[in-house]
Amino acid sequence: MAELLAHLARQLVDEPDAVEVEEVQREGATILQLRVAKADVGKVIGRQGRIARALRTVVRASSARRSGRTLLEIVE
pTM, rounded to two decimals? 0.89
Phi-psi region of 50 (alpha: psi -120 to 50; beta: other; left: phi over 0): alpha
Which domains are seen in the chain, by residue range? 2-75 (3.30.300.20)
Query: CB of 15 within 8 A of CB of 37?
Result: yes
| Strand, helix or coil for residue 37 | coil
pLDDT tens for 6-28 read 999 999 999 999 999 999 998 88
pLDDT tens for 48-69 read 999 999 999 999 888 887 777 8
Tell me how far apart the alpha carbons of residues 3 and 75 are, in angstroms, rounded to a whole number: 17
> Sign (positive/negative) of CA torsion 76, 46, 14, 61?
positive
